[in-house]
């Protein structure tokens, strides 16, 4: 079996069948080489309206499907992801720039999301309530109807399926808008996976498109819930628009996550941990370690070891070569990263290694003695840059780590794990990892940030997913009609 090799998807959107998008087609381009890999269909707001009408009808039948059958579809989807891992890995490498181990992690976690979602249809979905009247009173969770999922380019399989799978399992229809830059790995793959898994036509639709398509998805009356992953700037717009239309928006946004390195650690081991936190997937991860806050007693040694370690990392084409870092997604992202580096150096930071690029291949960069006023310290970088800032005391580092609008992930390295946990309690963060870096994700764990990083944990684990993709309905039953005084 081949998922996308037959090319039926070229120039098309998925509405239960491959159809023409209202805006035509565009080239799918490999960042590493500039080679055209195919063409994807481009949707319009009118396509969203049509898809929503189809999804609403399809959902009415889907929610009536026995729960065992819905669970079986999700299990088959997980099996198909694993069975087609080699093909998906190729698209992740060529379309997104992911090195093979990171692509493998995406496939594994995406399959796990499907398996976890397969347990949701049989999960208890309500509770009996006390009532002072002669009746039965209970609350139950019912599907919202149609869910809109807007997924980003950086980790396109996981960041789509973690909303798509539970929403489908709980009886909703889904309209998925992948980022146009990763429409195959983040969209076409799932259209084919669920087609082969036996999902009825129209229950999942895939509409690559721009901001106008995203806005149409948010304002479409038939779409009752939006699951958005992306930048904080775009997330604020989505949240505002969803609020105007009285619908829920689950927002998983950017981060400026700190790794705190206390002076009692093994510096060599700590530098390895910090390197992974920043440079995995070239830093294009919302949880990436964006600030290395290191005790002044070991800051110079840590910075030197970090720089020495990452200076050796090979950067290049992740599909054709054995590399540690692939390309950034496009020139706009590369220029933004380089601009932050240059501005930070002008503001007092020192380049210990890197700071250069060749086309979209940005060298892993370590900045030492980074002042808190530097852009690379204050802003989300989303690139392979590690700013190191010294601190002198626990009170100072708690203030530094908490002194950001973001609150996604936090890592603390120390031999005294209880002191690390006590420190973490002073720093608002959706995720906390004691003696690990900031990039961690599991299908069974709640995931989400606070502040400018989002609206809390709305992904991962049955409790979060059931709350995210269903509505609460109060029901009472009486055996006889009551007598009223009117």
Catalytic: 471? no
Residue with tokens 């950034």: 328
Catalytic residue among 95, 195, 220, 252: 252
Q: SS3 string of the chain?
A: CCCCCCCCCCCEEECCCEEECCCCEEEEECCCCCCEEEEEECCCHHHHHHHHHHHHHHHHHHCCCCHHHHHHHHHHHHHHHHHCHHHHHHHHHHHHCCCHHHHHHHHHHHHHHHHHHHCHHHCCCEEEECCCCCCEEEEEEEECCEEEEECCCCCHHHHHHHHHHHHHHCCCEEEEECCHHHCHHHHHHHHHHHHHHCCCCCCEEECCCCHHHHHHHHHCCCEEEEEEECCHHHHHHHHHHHHHCCCEEEEECCCCEEEEECCCCCHHHHHHHHHHHHHHHHHCCCCCEEEEEEEHHHHHHHHHHHHHHHHCCCECCCCCCCCCECCCCCHHHHHHHHHHHHHHHHCCCEEEECCCEECCEECCEEEECCCCCCHHHHCCCCCCEEEEEEECCHHHHHHHHHCCCCCCEEEEECCCHHHHHHHHCCCCCCEEEECCCCCCCCCCCCECCCHHHECCCCECCHHHHHHHHEEEEEEEECCCCCCCCC
Q: Is 114 a catalytic residue?
A: no
Phi-psi region of 355 (alpha: psi -120 to 50; beta: other; left: phi over 0): left
Among 194, 190, 182, which residue's Cα sits nearest to residue 156?
182
Catalytic residue (choose from 116, 195, 286, 380): 286
Q: Is 483 exposed, middle or buried (0-12, 13-18, 19+ CB in 10 A)?
A: exposed
Q: Provide the annotated active-site residues.
A: 252, 286
């Amino acid at each position: 079996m081949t998922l996308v090799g037959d090319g039926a998807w070229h120039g098309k959107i998925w509405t239960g069948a491959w159809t023409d998008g209202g805006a035509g087609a565009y080239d799918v381009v490999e960042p590493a080489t500039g080679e055209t890999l195919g063409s994807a269909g481009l949707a319009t707001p009118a396509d969203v309206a049509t898809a929503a009408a189809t999804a609403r009808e399809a959902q009415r039948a889907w929610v009536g499907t026995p729960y065992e059958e819905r669970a079986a579809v999700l299990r088959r989807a997980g099996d198909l992801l694993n069975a087609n891992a080699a093909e998906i890995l190729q698209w992740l490498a060529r379309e997104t720039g992911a090195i093979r181990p990171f692509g493998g992690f995406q496939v594994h976690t995406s399959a796990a999301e499907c398996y976890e979602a397969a347990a949701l249809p049989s999960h208890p979905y309500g509770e009996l309530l006390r009532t002072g009247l002669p009746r039965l009173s209970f609350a139950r969770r019912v599907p919202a109807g149609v869910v809109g999922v807007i997924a980003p380019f950086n980790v396109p399989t996981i960041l789509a399926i973690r909303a798509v799978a539970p929403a489908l399992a709980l009886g909703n229809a889904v309209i998925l808008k992948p980022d146009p830059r990763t429409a195959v790995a983040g969209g076409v793959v799932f259209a084919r996976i669920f087609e082969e898994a036996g999902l009825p036509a129209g229950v999942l639709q895939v509409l690559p498109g721009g901001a106008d398509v995203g806005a149409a998805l948010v304002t479409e009356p038939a779409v009752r819930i939006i699951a958005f992953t992306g930048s904080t700037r775009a997330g604020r717009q989505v949240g505002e628009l969803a609020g105007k239309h009285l619908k829920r928006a689950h927002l998983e946004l950017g981060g400026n996550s700190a790794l705190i390195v206390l002076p009692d650690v093994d510096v060599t081991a700590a530098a390895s941990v910090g390197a992974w936190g920043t440079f995995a997937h070239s830093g294009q991860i919302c949880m990436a370690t964006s600030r290395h806050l290191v005790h002044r007693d070991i800051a110079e040694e840590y910075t030197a070891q970090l720089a020495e370690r990452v200076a050796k990392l090979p950067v290049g084409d992740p599909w054709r070569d054995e590399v540690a870092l692939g390309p950034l997604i496009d020139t706009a992202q590369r220029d933004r990263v380089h601009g932050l580096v240059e501005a930070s150096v002008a503001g007092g930071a020192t380049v210990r290694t890197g700071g250069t690029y060749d086309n979209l291949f940005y060298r892993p960069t370590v900045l030492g003695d980074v002042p808190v006023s530097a852009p690379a310290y204050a802003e989300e970088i989303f690139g392979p840059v590690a700013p190191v800032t010294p601190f002198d005391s626990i009170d100072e580092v708690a203030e530094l780590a908490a002194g950001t609008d973001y609150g996604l992930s936090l890592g603390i390295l120390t031999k005294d794990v209880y002191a690390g946990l006590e420190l973490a309690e002073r720093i608002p963060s959706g995720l906390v990892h004691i003696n690990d870096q900031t990039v961690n994700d599991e299908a069974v764990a709640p995931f989400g940030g606070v502040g400018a990083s989002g609206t809390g944990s709305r992904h991962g684990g049955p409790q979060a997913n059931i709350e995210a993709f269903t509505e609460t309905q109060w029901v009472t039953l009486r055996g006889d009609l009551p007598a009223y005084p009117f």
